[in-house]
Amino acid sequence: MERPDRIIQGMAVDGHFRVIAAQTTTAVETAREILDLAPVAADALGRAMTGALLLARLLDKDVRNQFVSLRFEGNGPLGTVIGDGSVAGNVRGYVANPVPTDPMLDVESAIGNGSLTVVRGTPPAGKPYTSQILIAGTGIATDLTRYLMRSEQIASAVLLGVYNRRDGVAAAGGMIIQAFPHAPEEAIRTIETRVKNAPSFSTLLATMPIEEAVSTVLEGTEYKQIDAGQEQPVAYACTCTRERALAPLTLLSLDELHEMIAEGGTEIICQFCGRRYVFGEDDLFALTAKHEA
């Protein structure tokens, strides 16, 4: 039975810890189908997409349209990996090289060493907030823990996972456990021990609802789900528009535009969702007019 993707929230150890968890199985499987991802690419992108969704919710200050974009630029064979998520539960992703030649690679070496850029904002208002950390092949969950500590002064544990089967993504999801500043040392050690010894989160998600998976990881920590009626549905959704697809063409020279017109037009394919935007002679003529103005 398919269970719908969603984000849930809870508290643990007398309210000293906030827990946000997401099931993203269908969204990651959708990404795999649209972007033709090899298993290791689906694993990396699924973690990045889930991480973006969790961060958007974690850093939310009652802004319903906040988004978080995670851009991993490593020297591994996947190249750039981008996960975008919003508080509203929309998520999308992109992998530069979705089929690396070595099928046995793990996610850490598939991404490699480089940088992680985190962008968050609340369109249309305000300028997005951007920060960057170096990454050294320690895994996306560890990268996000370091980002949260360094850029947001949030102490946290992050779990992310994708469970691949031969025919696709069987389960994907993750959770962030945020320690509030007054959390006692002993409680932090209890949570750390639970997280370290818990079964893999995506394996749990493959066999039980997310509510039970989170309870299993946090067994013995008085975990309680809050706002059970307010869970946020999650879906793979792209924000591309014809206008945004046209934007890169406005940077072309007059000669390049005339060349495209001679070829009868051009098309732009969205790298996140595969949607095709066709621009004919009339559209391109309109752009040349701007050059002459």
Q: What are phi and psi of 167, to 5 degrees?
A: -95, 15
Q: How far is the CB of 94 from Zn ion (least distance, A)?
A: 10
Q: How far is the CB of 69 from Zn ion (least distance, A)?
A: 14
Q: Which is nearer to Zn ion, 18 or 92 (CB)?
A: 92
Q: How far is the CB of 254 from Zn ion (least distance, A)?
A: 28
Q: Which is nearer to Zn ion, 163 or 272 (CB)?
A: 272
Q: How far is the CB of 237 from Zn ion (least distance, A)?
A: 9
Q: Taking each helix axis from N to C terminus, what angle separates 254-262 and 281-292, rounded to the nearest 10 degrees? A: 160
Q: What are phi and psi of 195, to 5 degrees?
A: -65, -40
Residues 6+ apart with CB under 8 A from 20: 7, 8, 9, 54, 57, 58, 175, 176, 178
**DSSP for residue 96:** S
Helix (H, G, I), strand (E, B) or coil at 89: coil
Q: How far apart are CA 205 and CA 233, in angstroms?
A: 16
Cβ(121)–Cβ(128) below 8 Å? yes
Q: Which is nearer to Zn ion, 190 or 266 (CB)?
A: 266
Q: Which is nearer to Zn ion, 38 or 273 (CB)?
A: 273
Q: How far apart are the first and last CA of the chain?
A: 60
**DSSP for residue 238:** -
Q: Which is nearer to Zn ion, 258 or 275 (CB)?
A: 275
Q: Which is nearer to Zn ion, 123 or 199 (CB)?
A: 123
Q: How far is the CB of 31 from Zn ion (least distance, A)?
A: 12
Contact set with Zn ion (CB under 5 A) = 238, 240, 270, 272-273, 275
Q: How far is the CB of 240 from Zn ion (least distance, A)?
A: 3
- Residue 70's nearest CA partner among 60, 85, 58, 59 is 85
Which neighbouring-strand residues pair with 118? 70, 131
Cβ(115)–Cβ(131) below 8 Å? no
Q: Which is nearer to Zn ion, 140 or 273 (CB)?
A: 273
Q: How far is the CB of 98 from Zn ion (least distance, A)?
A: 16
